[in-house]
Amino acid sequence: MTYYIVNGSPRTNFNTKQLLEKTAEGIKRIKENNRVEMIDLYKLNYKGCMACFNCKLKEGSFYGKCPIRDDLEELLEKMWESDGIIIGSPVYFGNLTGETRSFMERLIFPKFHYGEGKILERELPVGIIVSMNLNPENGGLCYDKTIFEPINAFLESTFSKPEILKVYDTYQFKDYDLYENQIFSKEHKQQVREENFPKDLQKAYELGRTIAKKG
């Protein structure tokens, strides 16, 4: 079984990536020979959907596929044939990162059906892990409407109902004393990092197990 984990954070060793590494562990835990391919989006060259609509062209050679030739070309084909895809992203200005959104346009749109039923004939397990600075008490819940509802709807109608993990109140700087910041308390952030983040890592691990059990 092959699973793709996609890191949509420019940082390849911080909150989002650490969560995704745990997800990979969870997947491998279900079956020793489960294969996990970890992709860092910021290392690739690609664009979002170009609205050429070749993927929707009746009897066209790219129906259900994407004709754009770039670093996503082969990767998308492999992902559509895989046993599960997990995408992680930080929140940037109230949404997923630009690279994550461009990637998701390319991943979802060719298989998104303007009509009844699905283009992909089987359920493809998907998971989403989103890390953010805000928490449910100071505004983080507003992303339920703007980020999570649309993602849920598009993924469900194209691949399958996604497993979603929301990780709030993350540690943004490695050392809060070094950076100009009058809004977020260093003590609060440290406490959350020590008490909550390990629980979030465990949830990311469980998400991996859940996806692998569906595969």
Ligand X SMILES: Cc1cc2nc3c(=O)[nH]c(=O)nc-3n(C[C@H](O)[C@H](O)[C@H](O)COP(=O)(O)O)c2cc1C
Residues at the site binding ligand X, with contacts judged by CB under 6 A: 9, 11, 14-17, 90-94, 131-134, 170, 172
Query: Strand 35-40 relative to strand 84-92: parallel, antiparallel, unpaired?
Result: unpaired
For residue 99, the minimal CB distance to ligand X (Å) is 12
For residue 96, the minimal CB distance to ligand X (Å) is 10
Cβ proximity to ligand X: between 2 and 95 the closer is: 95
Cβ proximity to ligand X: between 4 and 80 the closer is: 4
What b-and-e string marks burial along 22-48, b requiring 16 or more CB atoms within 10 Å of the CB? bbbebbbebeeebebebbbbeeeebeb
For residue 167, the minimal CB distance to ligand X (Å) is 7
For residue 19, the minimal CB distance to ligand X (Å) is 8
Query: Strand 95-96 relative to strand 126-131: parallel, antiparallel, unpaired?
Result: unpaired
Cβ proximity to ligand X: between 16 and 34 the closer is: 16
Cβ proximity to ligand X: between 15 and 158 the closer is: 15
CA 95 to chain centre: 12
Q: Give the span between the Cα atoms of 61 and 48, in whole angstroms.
A: 20
Cβ proximity to ligand X: between 17 and 111 the closer is: 17
Cβ proximity to ligand X: between 105 and 169 the closer is: 169
Residue in the structure block whose two tokens are 């953010």: 132
For residue 171, the minimal CB distance to ligand X (Å) is 7
Tokens of 3: 């699973």
Altogether, the residues listed in the chain come to a count of 215
* Nearest residue to 8 via CA among 108, 86, 125, 94: 86
For residue 145, the minimal CB distance to ligand X (Å) is 14
Q: Give the span between the Cα atoms of 52 and 212, in whole angstroms.
A: 34
Tokens of 114: 């303007």
Which residues on adjacent β-strands are paired with residue 5? 38, 86
